[in-house]
Structure 1
Amino acid sequence: MDFGRMLTAMVTPFDKHNQIDFNITTQLVEHLIASGTDGLVVAGTTGESPTLSHQEKIDLFKHVIKVVDGRVPIIAGTGSNNTQASIELTKEAEQLGVNGALIVTPYYNKPNQEGLYQHFAAIADQTKLPIMLYNIPSRAVVRLNVETVVALSQIDNIVSVKDSTGDLDSIASILNQVDEDFTVYSGDDSLTLPIQSIGGTGIVSVSSHIIGKEMKEMITLYEQGNVKEAAQLHRQLLPIMRALFMAPSPSPVKSALKYKDIDVGSVRLPLVPLSPFEEQNLFRVLDSVQ
């Protein structure tokens, strides 16, 4: 399934008491849609899913569904390292009316490839939602091997993978073996164009909070055959993409949004906000590029 070219892994806005700020969430959704996002990933890593309660995720899904009102697809982050809990949250999200589920590889438990396959297969069996696998070994410790992704792609409602391995050879190998309708999204902003060039569909982006229009233009330029112009824009945007990952995400992008007059609040522990020095460096990059 094609969810679009540029999806945004949306931050979760918090108020001064570190509770979800639904008014700012509305403002943020409108900003992202206006910036050209094709879809929203809600309560993923960037949305600080590990520190959101089950009920908070449900409330967030409900609110975003209401605000979006069918304008773009909503992919709910419903995966965890607990297979049964992932099944239950996925089923609840489906009943609410989301358009897909992002399921991360189980972190901390360290399952082998057979365990990973069985985890995703068990979740897929309990929902009709299209599922996007999320392969992020830098955070989860485990990695979906090429063969496991290809095997999972044969399950009818496992339709996509968000790949944050940074391994272009493996991504190319996946693309070479899956059916044409199985989509591969970059999970790294700085690899949007390289992955697109080997057959990837698009990006699940953090940077699109700040440079959404520019990233959408880059993707469109490449699609239209303007490779040189797309590459030039990629190089121009790269310093911002890097700066937005200068500290554990989403601390930098939350600071950047506040700098752009969308105050989404701070992050929840164990994450911490940027230091004043880090903020100065981030804002300098934002000002120098735009």
Structure 2
Amino acid sequence: MFKGSIVALITPMDEKGKICQQSLKKLINYHIKNGTSAIVAVGTTGESATLNPEEHSRVIMLTLDLADGRIPVIAGTGANATSESILLTKKFEKTGITACLTVTPYYNRPTQEGLYQHFKSISENSDLPQILYNVPARTGCDLVPETVIKLAKLKNIIGIKEATGDLSRIHLIKQYVKDDFIIFSGDDETALDFMQLGGNGVISVTANIAAAEMKKICSLALKKDFNTARLINQRLMPLHKVLFKEPNPIPVKWAAKKLGLIKTDTLRLPMTKISNSTKTILNQILEELKLYP
């Protein structure tokens, strides 16, 4: 159902921290123009942790409306309470949302059995396709391959975003799941290697500001032209790295503003503005890559 470069979309805000619909529309049009395969709305990069429940749903539905059927929209529906994640997921049934990206419950640090029961409960309470999301550096818990393999047998769990950067997990998962189970990288630095080992694509932060380049890398990788893809990826590697020099999405929002994709790089506390030292490095990289319009 999904493959290639999928963007983990930033959530643009105005100077007062309110959702900026004009910038959101501009971002969506930018991704459609540059061949991004799908949009993830209100994931980690979309600042799900600082949007209230009403805003969370509004941004997803606004993204769906502005996309207007031109690009698939995946809704971020993770929560640290299973009941909350079920309610959020059910909101998007029969709306046009194509799938949900559901992060492991954060802060609670559940056992593997707890993780299995969490995702099983969501699966049993919604017909929407579910993509698991494992990012232990953010959540404090790790969805291990053995649990992923068990979950892949459930009716509407269709894939995983694996953001550990551990390339060995691809083989561990792929050898025991069906061929149509989708495995996405959630780490731009290792995404090409991930695809060379059998991954289906990447849910990307870098794609927010280098959509055409990420699309090209993934398209080449899916055609098994890894040599050409690697040449492009080597050019982007400094960008992959600097976008995580400070907590995501601090650097990428600043870069998107500099490139004219959004009006402001406003973040909500406890996220703070980018440091001057990171600005200097990032600006130099944007110039070297000729990403400025």
Task: Please indicate the TM-score interval, normalised by the length of the shorter structure.
Answer: over 0.9
Question: How far apart are the structure 2 equivalents of 1:162 and 1:282?
Answer: 26
TM-score w.r.t. length of structure 2: 0.96
Question: How far apart are the structure 1 equivalents of 2:36 and 2:100?
Answer: 17
* Cα displacement string for residues 227-247 of structure 1 (whole angstroms, at most 9, x for unaligned residues): 211111111111111111111
* Cα displacement string for residues 145-168 of structure 1 (whole angstroms, at most 9, x for unaligned residues): 111000000001000100001111
Q: How far off its partner does 1:170 sit?
A: 1.7
| 1:268 matched to 2:261 | no
8 Å CA contact 1:113–1:144 kept in 2: the answer is: yes
Q: How far off its partner does 1:30 sit?
A: 0.7
Q: Residue in 2 aligned with 1:214?
A: 213
8 Å CA contact 1:61–1:96 kept in 2: the answer is: no
8 Å CA contact 1:6–1:216 kept in 2: the answer is: yes
Q: Residue in 2 aligned with 1:118?
A: 117
Give SS of 1:94's match: coil
TM-score w.r.t. length of structure 1: 0.97
8 Å CA contact 1:24–1:263 kept in 2: the answer is: yes
Q: CA RMSD in A?
A: 1.1
8 Å CA contact 2:85–2:122 kept in 1: the answer is: yes
AA partner of residue 235 (structure 1): Q
Question: How far apart are the structure 1 equivalents of 2:224 and 2:36?
Answer: 21
Aligned residue pairs: how many? Answer: 289
Give SS of 2:141's match: coil
Q: Percent identity?
A: 39
Q: Residue in 1 aligned with 2:44?
A: 45
AA partner of residue 274 (structure 1): I
| 1:284 matched to 2:261 | no
Q: How far off its partner does 1:97 sit?
A: 2.6
Q: Residue in 1 aligned with 2:158?
A: 159
Q: How far off its partner does 1:264 sit?
A: 4.6
Question: How far apart are the structure 1 equivalents of 2:109 and 2:77?
Answer: 19
**Structure 2, gaps ≥5 residues long:** none
Q: How far off its partner does 1:40 sit?
A: 0.4
User: For residues 146 and 268 of structure 1, do their structure 2 counterparts lie closer, same or farther at Cα, with a shift above 3 Å needed?
Assistant: same
AA partner of residue 209 (structure 1): N
Question: How far apart are the structure 1 equivalents of 2:224 and 2:173?
Answer: 24
Mean Cα deviation higher: 39-48 or 210-219: 210-219
AA partner of residue 209 (structure 2): I
Q: Residue in 2 aligned with 1:130?
A: 129
AA partner of residue 272 (structure 1): T
